[in-house]
Chains A and B, each alone.
Chain A
C-alpha cells in the first residue's frame, strides 16, 4: 500500500502552480479583496455587542440615552471635526491617532497600505502649507511634521519591500507612485507658483525631509517588466483622460489645454519607447518609468486642489522631448543655417559703410550668439528652450533674408548660390 501511495504521490507532486501563476492568482485575489473589503461596521458592531451586555444589568434606558449621545459625539462628531484640525489644535491628536489609524487598519492589501501612507504624507504637507500660509508654523511643529513625513514614507517603503518578496514588478510600480507623490510634495513645499504667496523659507525642514525620502526611493527601471509598465500606463492614462473630461469648468481652459498637451506628449513618448524596445530595451523601459511617474503627477494635479493651487503644471510635468518633435526642430535649425548662409553671401553686396550693412551684420551677430547656445541643446537639451531658440533663429534668418530681398539683391544671392 505504501508503495502505491508513494508512486501515486510522486506523480501528483509534479502538479503544482508555477511561481508566476501563483503570483498572478494571489494578485487577482488581492484585487478581489480590495473591491470586496471587510465590512467597516464590523468594528462598531462588536463594540455595540460588548456594551449591550453591560446595559442589561443597569438602567439601560437612561444610560443608553446618555451613552448613546456621548458615543455619537465621540465616535461620529469628534472624528469629523478632527479632520479639519491642524497641528496645535486640540483635536489634532484625534485626527492622527484615531481617524487615520482606524482608516489605515481597514487597508487590506500592501498596495492599499502604500496608497494610504502616501496620502498621509500628502496630508502632512498640506497641513504644513496651511500653517505656513497663516504664519503658525513654528520650528517645533515643523520638526514634528518632518518626523511624521519620514515615518509615513518609511511605512510605505516597508510595504513596498513586502510586495517585492512576491512580485518585483508590482513593487517597482509602487515605488514609481511613491516617487511621484514625493516629487509633488516637494513641488508644493518649494512652491513654484508665482500666483500664490510662498512660504518656502519656513518649510525648508519639511522640504528637506521630503527630499531625503525621495532620494531614498530608487527607481530602478531594470527591475520592471516592459509589459507591466505598458499595461499600467494604459490604465492610468485612461483614468487621466476620464478625469480631464470630468473636470468641466472647475479648471481654466489654459490648464485644461496644458494637461491635454502633456498627455499627448506622454503618449508620443510611449510610442518612442515602443520603437526603442528592440534596439535599447533598457532606455525604452527607463522612458516608460518616467512616463508612468508623469501620468501620476498629471492625475494628482487634476484631482488635488492643493496641488493645483500651489504648483504649476509646467514645473510638475515639463513637456519632455519626443523623437519626432526634436527631429522637426533639428530640421528647422539646419534650414535657418542655410538661410543665414545666403544672408551672409548677400550682405557682401552692400557697402560696408551703409546703414543696411550695419543692421544686417548686427542681425547676423545676434543669430550667431543664439546659434552657439542652441547647438548645445540639440540632442538632449530642454525641449521648450530648444523650441524657443530655434524659433528665434528662424525668425532672425528669415527676417534678414527678407530685408536683403527688399533691397533688391535676393536674386543675386540665389544666382550666387546656384553658381557655387
Chain B
C-alpha cells in the first residue's frame, strides 16, 4: 500500500510508488512535452519512454527519493534528443542558427522578468510559443507551465542559475517582440 508520510515522502514498494508517480505526473509531463514539440502522438510516446526509462532505473535496484524531478530530467533529455534528430545538428549549432546567445546578467538591467511579463498578455504569449527557439520555449514552459523555480530549472537543464535567469529574460523579451510584430501585422491588415 502506498501512503504519504508526514514529511511528504511516499512509502510503499518501488513499484507502487512508480505507478503512483504515473497517475500524478503523466498529465503534467504530457503537457510539457506537447508544448515543446507540438505533436500529440509524439508527446504521448515521449511520456511513455520517460516512464519506461525510469522503470528500467528502478528495476535495476536504484532508489528514487522523489520521482518528479527525475521524470522531468528524463523527459527533457528525450525532448532534446528529439530535436537533435529532427534538426540533425547539435544543440550548439542550433543555438547559433536560432541566434540564441547566453548573454550575461547585464541583460537584466534594462527591465526585470517581472516587469516584462506585467506587460504581456498570457493568452497571446501561449499561442505564440511555437515561434520561439526551443531553448526559450523550454525555460518558459518549465517556469510558467510546470511552475519550477530558476534553481530547479538550472539543475534540470544543467546550467547555472544566472544563465537560466538571463535566458528566461531574453525569452520573454523575444516573446514580447513577436506579439508586437503580430499586432502590427494585424493592424496593417485591418487598414488595408
Task: Spell out A's residues near B (CB within 8 Å).
Answer: 1, 3-12, 15-17, 21-22, 25-26, 28-29, 32-33, 36-39, 42, 45, 108
Task: Let me know if A4 and B31 touch, CB within 8 A.
Answer: no
Q: How far is the CA of A45 from the CA of B52 in the complex (A)?
A: 24
Contacts of A12 in B (CB 8 A): 31, 35, 126, 144-145
Stretch of B65-73, B112-120, B130-138, B162-170 at the chain-chain interface = B112-120
Q: How far is the CA of A32 from the CA of B22 in the complex (A)?
A: 13
28 contacts between A and B (CB under 8 A): A1-B114, A1-B118, A4-B118, A4-B120, A4-B144, A5-B117, A5-B144, A8-B123, A8-B144, A9-B122, A9-B144, A11-B126, A12-B144, A12-B145, A16-B30, A17-B27, A17-B44, A21-B44, A22-B26, A25-B44, A29-B48, A32-B48, A32-B52, A32-B55, A36-B55, A38-B14, A38-B58, A38-B59
Task: Spell out B's residues near A (CB within 8 Å).
Answer: 14-15, 22, 26-27, 30-31, 34-35, 44, 47-48, 51-52, 55-56, 58-61, 114, 117-118, 120-123, 125-127, 144-145
Contacts of A33 in B (CB 8 A): 15, 55
Task: Let me know if B117 and A1 touch, CB within 8 A.
Answer: yes
Contacts of A29 in B (CB 8 A): 22, 48, 51-52, 55
Q: How far is the CA of A17 from the CA of B43 in the complex (A)?
A: 10
Q: How far is the CA of A15 from the CA of B61 in the complex (A)?
A: 34
With contacts A1-B117, A29-B52 taken as known, whether A6 is within 8 angstroms of B122 at the C-beta atoms is yes
Contacts of B56 in A (CB 8 A): 36
Q: How far is the CA of A37 from the CA of B56 in the complex (A)?
A: 9
Task: Let me know if A7 and B122 touch, CB within 8 A.
Answer: yes
Q: How far is the CA of A42 from the CA of B22 in the complex (A)?
A: 23
Q: How far is the CA of A37 from the CA of B31 in the complex (A)?
A: 28
With contacts A11-B127, A16-B31, A39-B59 taken as known, whether A4 is within 8 angstroms of B26 at the C-beta atoms is no
Given A15-B35, A29-B55, 16 extra CB contacts under 8 A: A4-B125, A5-B117, A5-B122, A6-B122, A7-B121, A8-B122, A10-B123, A11-B123, A11-B126, A16-B31, A17-B27, A22-B27, A25-B26, A32-B55, A36-B56, A45-B61
Task: Let me know if A11 and B52 touch, CB within 8 A.
Answer: no
With contacts A29-B22, A38-B59 taken as known, whether A7 is within 8 angstroms of B123 at the C-beta atoms is yes
Residue of A nearest to B41 (CB): A21
With contacts A4-B117, A29-B48 taken as known, whether A17 is within 8 angstroms of B30 at the C-beta atoms is yes
Q: How far is the CA of A325 from the CA of B44 in the complex (A)?
A: 47
Contacts of A37 in B (CB 8 A): 59
Contacts of B15 in A (CB 8 A): 33, 38, 108
Contacts of B58 in A (CB 8 A): 38
Top 8 A-B residue pairs of the complex, sorted by shortest distance between their CB atoms = A7-B122, A8-B122, A11-B126, A4-B117, A4-B122, A15-B31, A12-B145, A7-B123
Residue of B nearest to A105 (CB): B13
Chain B interface, DSSP helix/strand/loop, else mixed: helix
Q: How far is the CA of A200 from the CA of B136 in the complex (A)?
A: 75
* B175 smallest CB distance to A (angstroms): 10
Residue of A nearest to B123 (CB): A7
With contacts A16-B30, A22-B26 taken as known, whether A9 is within 8 angstroms of B145 at the C-beta atoms is yes
Contacts of B60 in A (CB 8 A): 39
Task: Let me know if B59 and A15 touch, CB within 8 A.
Answer: no
Contacts of B26 in A (CB 8 A): 17, 22, 25-26
Residue of B nearest to A15 (CB): B31
Q: How far is the CA of A38 from the CA of B18 in the complex (A)?
A: 12
Q: How far is the CA of A108 from the CA of B17 in the complex (A)?
A: 12
* A350 smallest CB distance to B (angstroms): 81
Interface centre among A4, A5, A38 (most CB of B within 10 A): A4
Residue of B nearest to A16 (CB): B27
Task: Let me know if B122 and A39 touch, CB within 8 A.
Answer: no
* A26 smallest CB distance to B (angstroms): 6
Q: How far is the CA of A7 from the CA of B121 in the complex (A)?
A: 7
**A26's contact among B14, B22, B30, B123, by CB below 8 Å, is which?**
B22
Q: How far is the CA of A29 from the CA of B23 in the complex (A)?
A: 12
Contacts of A28 in B (CB 8 A): 48
Contacts of A7 in B (CB 8 A): 121-123, 125-126
Residue of A nearest to B118 (CB): A1
Contacts of A15 in B (CB 8 A): 30-31, 34-35
Q: How far is the CA of A344 from the CA of B125 in the complex (A)?
A: 93
Q: How far is the CA of A320 from the CA of B157 in the complex (A)?
A: 63
Residue of A nearest to B15 (CB): A108
Q: How far is the CA of A118 from the CA of B26 in the complex (A)?
A: 32
Contacts of A21 in B (CB 8 A): 44
* B62 smallest CB distance to A (angstroms): 11
Residue of A nearest to B16 (CB): A108
Residue of A nearest to B33 (CB): A15
Contacts of B118 in A (CB 8 A): 1, 3-4
Contacts of B31 in A (CB 8 A): 12, 15-16
Task: Let me know if B145 and A8 touch, CB within 8 A.
Answer: yes
* A165 smallest CB distance to B (angstroms): 11
Q: How far is the CA of A147 from the CA of B121 in the complex (A)?
A: 67
Contacts of A11 in B (CB 8 A): 122-123, 126-127
Q: How far is the CA of A29 from the CA of B44 in the complex (A)?
A: 12
Contacts of B120 in A (CB 8 A): 4
Q: How far is the CA of A39 from the CA of B144 in the complex (A)?
A: 39
* A239 smallest CB distance to B (angstroms): 25
Contacts of A26 in B (CB 8 A): 22, 26
Residue of B nearest to A6 (CB): B122
* A24 smallest CB distance to B (angstroms): 8
Residue of B nearest to A13 (CB): B31
